[in-house]
Chains A and B, each alone.
Chain A
Amino acid sequence: MNILAQLVISGVVVGMIYGVIAFGYQLTFATSKTLNFGQGEALMLGALVGLTTINFLIGQSLGAFTAYLLMLPVVLAFGLLQGAVVEFLGVRQAIRTKSEAGWIMATIALGIIFKNLAENIWGRDALRFPSPLPEAALTIGPIRIQPMEIAIVLGAIALMIAVEVFNRRSIYGKAVVATANDRDAAGLMGINTRLVITFSYALSSMAAAFAGVLVAPITLTGATMGAVLGLKAFAVAIIGGLSSGVGVVVGGLILGISENLTGYYISTGYKDVPGLVLLLLVLTFKPSGLFGSAAIKKV
C-alpha cells in the first residue's frame, strides 16, 4: 500500500472540513470585514441539531441514508437562522458604532453561550452519530477510504460551489458581491447592506453547520467538538487569505495534509506544528494570505 497516498487522502478529508469552516469565515469577512469567532460552535450546534433530527427520523423507521438526506435541510435552515441571530445580537451594533473590536468579544461570548446551552440540552458526553453510508472501508488502488470520507470531500466542494454560483448568478448574490466590493457605494445604489451582512452571517453559519453533520459520522458529536476545528479553520483562513474562496480550500488542504505528513514522517507529537509555523510565515511575509489580494486601508 502506498503510504504517502494514504496520508495525503486522509489529509485531504480533514482539510476539506477545515476548508468549509474557513469558507464561512471568508463569507462574512467579505461583506462586513468581521468574523464569527463562534464558528466552531456553529458547527457543533449544527451537528447536534442534526443528531437529534436524524435520531428522530430513524425512530420513524427510516433508513439511515434517507434520514440523513431529510435531516440536511433542517440543519441548513437551522444554520441560516443561527447565523442571523449571531449577526443580530453580536455584530450589528458593533458595525453601526464602527467599533473595532466589539464584534470580536461579542461573537466569542455568543460562542461560549452556545456551548453552555448545548451542554445543558445534549449533556457533556460525546455522542455517536449514525453513519448514513456503510462504515466498511473501500479499497481504491493503493489506498483505503471510508465511503463517508468521500462524501465529506464531495459535500464540501458541492456546498462551496453552490454558494459561489448563488453569489455570482442570482440578483441577491450580486448584492452580496456588490457589498463586498464597496459597502458604501452599494448602499448608495439602493442595496440594503445591513440585510446583506445578516445574510452573509446566515450563510457562514450554514456552511459551519453543514461541516458539522459531514464530520460527525466519522468522529463523535458533543458540545466541545467545535473548539479545535473552529480554531484550525481560522488558521486556514489566515493562510489561504480571507478574501479568497479558492484560498480557503487550498489552505485547508495544506493544513490537513501537512498535519498527516508531519505526524508520520516526523513525529505525531509535532502534528500541529507545521500548520502553525506556516501561519506565522504567512503573517510575516504575506499578511493577506497566500491567495488574498493585498488590503489597502485608506485613512
Chain B
Amino acid sequence: MAQLNRWPSQDFGELTVKRSLFAFAILASTALTSAAYAADTIKIGLSGPFTGGSSSMGVSMRDGVKLAVAEINKAGGVLGKQLQLVERDDEAKNEVGVQVAQELINKEQVVATLGFINTGVGQAAQRFYQEAEIPVLNNVATGSILTNQWPDAKANYVFRNAANDTIQSAMIAEEAVKRQGFKKPAILADSTNYGQLGQKDLTEALAKMDIKPVANEKFNIGDTDMTAQVLKAKEAGADVILTYAIGPELAQIANAMAKLGWKVPMIGSWTLSMASFIDTAGPNGDGAMMPQTFIESPTTAKRKDFIEAYHKAYGGDRMPSPVSAAQGYDSAYLLVAAINQAKSTDGKKIKDALENLQTKVEGVVTVYDHPYTAKDHEAISSNIPVFGLVKGGRVVPAHPEDVAGDKALRIKPKS
C-alpha cells in the first residue's frame, strides 16, 4: 500500500510501465492459447542439417522451400496471411533434431514442419509432432519406416514427398539385373542405420530376382582406406557395385577402385548424386548411377522456371543437391494447398486436407493429384524416379529415352 500513497507523485512513469506490462501479459496469455490464429503470419518450421556431411542436401532443401515460400508470399500468402519460415539446423544429429522439434512445437508454435534429411533424425523427432498433432512434410529422408512409425495410431501426421528406400532399392536391383543384365552384384554399405537398412532392402530386392550378392561389405563413416572392401568385391568376381552410403565414403570407394585399377559400374541409392561424392571422386565417379526424382534439366516448363529462379536467387550453375531442392520446393506447395483447403491452420484439419487433397498441385517433381490418402502417406510412387548418371561433374539422365517427350512428367497412378 505504500506504493499507493506515492501514486500521484513522480512515479507515474513506473505505473505506465506496469500497466503496459499487465496488458502485455493478458495479450501474451491469449496469444499462447491461440497463437496461430492471433498472429498475422503463419509460422512453418524447417528442420534440416545446414552444416556437416549432409549439409549439401539440407541447404538445397532449405533453399527450395524458401524459394516456394517467397513466391507464395508474393502472390498474397495463405488465408490472407504471409508465411513465416522458422529455420533450425538439426546438424544431422538425432538429439539436436529432438531439441529443434520441441522448440518449433512449443516455443515457435509452428502449424506444420517441413524437412528432415536424415532418417535417424526424422525417426527421433517426428514423434513429438505426432503427439502434438502437427503435420510433418518429410521432403528428403528416405528410410522406409518414416511414414509408418506408429502403425497402431489412429492418425499419422507424417507425410513424405521423397522416394523411400523400398522404392529405391527395388529400382537399383531392377536397373542392375534386369535392364543392364549384371549377374554378380556386390553390395557396399556403410555401418549407419541408413546404410544397413538400405543394404537389407537391396538384398531382399535382389532375392526376388533370385540373385544373391557375391559380396556384402561394410565400412564406417570416416574410414580412410577401402582397399579390403573393394578387393573383396573384386575377388568375388563382382560385375557391378551396389552402394548404400553417403558422399565422402562413396568417393573413397570410387577412388579405391581406381587405385586397384578395377572398373565396374557403380549403381546405388540417390546419395551418389551428392556434391561431396561427385567433387571428391572427380573423374573416378563418372558413370555412377542412382534413382532421382528430379534431374537439373529443363524437361518441363515448370522445371525450367524452377531452375532459373533457383540460380537467380542463390547464384551458381549447379544445385548442390537438385533432388533436395525440388522436393523441398514441392513440399511447401503441398502444405499450402492443404492449408487453403482446410481454411484453417489447425493441425488435424491440415492433415485431413492432405489426405484428401482436391486441388492438383503442379510441382517440379510431378503433378500431385490426390497424392495422399489416409493409408498412403507417400507422394512419390515407384514410377516417378528415373536413373541419373554422373557425367563431367553433373547428374544427367542415364537413359534419355526415359525422360523424352511426355515421359518427362511422371504421375503417381490413382489408387
Q: Which residues of B contact A14 (CB under 8 A)?
A: 224-225
Q: Which residues of B contact A145 (CB under 8 A)?
A: 259
Query: Hey, what's the 0/1 contact readout for A275-292 against B, CB within 8 Å counting as 1?
Result: 000000000000000000
Q: Are A7 and B218 in contact (CB under 8 A)?
A: no
Chain B binder among A67-75, A183-191, A197-205, A216-224: A216-224
Within A259-276, the residues touching B (CB, 8 Å) are 259-261, 263-264, 267-269, 271-272
Contact A268 B51, CB 8 Å, known A128-B280, A219-B224, A260-B227: no
Q: Are A123 and B51 in contact (CB under 8 A)?
A: yes
A136→B252 CA distance, assembly (Å) = 14
Within B213-229, the residues touching A (CB, 8 Å) are 217-220, 222, 224-225, 227-229
Across the interface, B252 reaches (CB within 8 A) one of A135, A139, A219, namely A219
Query: Hey, what's the 0/1 contact readout for B247-271 against A, CB within 8 Å counting as 1?
Result: 0100110010011110000000000
Q: Are A125 and B191 in contact (CB under 8 A)?
A: no
Across the interface, A224 reaches (CB within 8 A) one of B222, B252, B259, B260, namely B222
How many of chain B's residues touch chain A, expressed as a range?
20 to 34
Q: Which residues of A contact B218 (CB under 8 A)?
A: 267-269
Q: Are A263 and B228 in contact (CB under 8 A)?
A: yes
Q: Which residues of B contact A271 (CB under 8 A)?
A: 219-220, 228
Q: Are B259 and A144 in contact (CB under 8 A)?
A: yes
* CB-based nearest A residue for B284: A135
Contact A125 B261, CB 8 Å, known A7-B231, A219-B224, A264-B232: no
Query: Hey, what's the 0/1 contact readout for A8-44 against B, CB within 8 Å counting as 1?
Result: 0010011001000000000000000000000000000
A137→B257 CA distance, assembly (Å) = 10
Within B15-53, the residues touching A (CB, 8 Å) are 51-53
A124 lies within 8 A of chain B by Cβ: yes
How many of chain A's residues touch chain B, expressed as a range?
35 or more
Q: Are B53 and A126 in contact (CB under 8 A)?
A: yes
CB distance from B257 to the nearest CB of A (A): 10
Q: Are B222 and A146 in contact (CB under 8 A)?
A: no
A167 lies within 8 A of chain B by Cβ: no
A215 lies within 8 A of chain B by Cβ: yes
* CB-based nearest A residue for B276: A126
Max chain A CB contacts within 10 Å: which of B227, B235, B248, B255? B227
CB distance from B253 to the nearest CB of A (A): 12
A236 lies within 8 A of chain B by Cβ: no
Within A117-176, the residues touching B (CB, 8 Å) are 119, 123-126, 128, 135-137, 139, 144-146
Contact A268 B224, CB 8 Å, known A126-B276, A137-B258: no
Q: Are A218 and B224 in contact (CB under 8 A)?
A: yes
Q: Are A268 and B231 in contact (CB under 8 A)?
A: no
A228 lies within 8 A of chain B by Cβ: yes
B55 lies within 8 A of chain A by Cβ: yes
Across the interface, B222 reaches (CB within 8 A) one of A139, A225, A267, A268, namely A225
Q: Are B222 and A260 in contact (CB under 8 A)?
A: no
Q: Which residues of A contact B51 (CB under 8 A)?
A: 119, 123-125
Contact A126 B227, CB 8 Å, known A3-B235, A268-B219: no
Q: Are A125 and B229 in contact (CB under 8 A)?
A: no
B108 lies within 8 A of chain A by Cβ: no
Q: Are B227 and A125 in contact (CB under 8 A)?
A: no
Contact A125 B228, CB 8 Å, known A139-B261, A220-B248, A228-B222: no
CB distance from B186 to the nearest CB of A (A): 11
B279 lies within 8 A of chain A by Cβ: yes
CB distance from B131 to the nearest CB of A (A): 30
Across the interface, A146 reaches (CB within 8 A) one of B56, B91, B251, B259, namely B259
Q: Could you tell me the dominant secondary structure of chain B's interface residues?
A: helix
A55 lies within 8 A of chain B by Cβ: no
Q: Are A10 and B227 in contact (CB under 8 A)?
A: yes
A6 lies within 8 A of chain B by Cβ: yes
A217→B280 CA distance, assembly (Å) = 11
Q: Are B217 and A268 in contact (CB under 8 A)?
A: yes
CB distance from A138 to the nearest CB of B (A): 10
Q: Which residues of B contact A6 (CB under 8 A)?
A: 227, 231, 260
* CB-based nearest B residue for A215: B224
A228→B220 CA distance, assembly (Å) = 10
* CB-based nearest B residue for A146: B259
Across the interface, B276 reaches (CB within 8 A) one of A125, A144, A215, A269, namely A125
Q: Are A264 and B225 in contact (CB under 8 A)?
A: no
Contact A144 B52, CB 8 Å, known A3-B231, A225-B222: no
A128→B227 CA distance, assembly (Å) = 20
Across the interface, A264 reaches (CB within 8 A) one of B91, B220, B231, namely B231
A263→B252 CA distance, assembly (Å) = 16
Q: Which residues of B contact A272 (CB under 8 A)?
A: 220
CB distance from B281 to the nearest CB of A (A): 10
Contact A125 B225, CB 8 Å, known A3-B231, A144-B259: no
CB distance from B242 to the nearest CB of A (A): 15
* CB-based nearest A residue for B228: A263
CB distance from A8 to the nearest CB of B (A): 10
A135→B261 CA distance, assembly (Å) = 12
CB distance from B414 to the nearest CB of A (A): 42
Q: Which residues of B contact A136 (CB under 8 A)?
A: 258
Q: Which residues of A contact B258 (CB under 8 A)?
A: 135-137
Across the interface, A137 reaches (CB within 8 A) one of B56, B224, B260, B280, namely B260
* CB-based nearest B residue for A137: B259
CB distance from B192 to the nearest CB of A (A): 13
* CB-based nearest A residue for B259: A137
A143→B229 CA distance, assembly (Å) = 16
Q: Are A7 and B55 in contact (CB under 8 A)?
A: no
Contact A144 B261, CB 8 Å, known A125-B276, A269-B191, A269-B218: yes
- 21 contacts across the A-B interface (CB closer than 8 A): A7-B227, A7-B228, A124-B55, A125-B52, A125-B56, A135-B255, A137-B260, A144-B259, A144-B261, A145-B259, A218-B255, A219-B224, A219-B252, A225-B222, A228-B220, A260-B228, A264-B228, A264-B232, A268-B219, A268-B229, A271-B220
What residues of chain B have their CB less than 8 Å away from a CB belonging to chain A?
51-53, 55-56, 91, 191, 217-220, 222, 224-225, 227-229, 231-232, 235, 248, 251-252, 255, 258-261, 276, 279-280
Given contacts A124-B53, A259-B228, A268-B218, 12 further A-B contacts (CB under 8 A): A3-B231, A3-B235, A6-B227, A7-B228, A13-B225, A124-B51, A128-B280, A135-B258, A219-B252, A260-B225, A261-B228, A269-B191
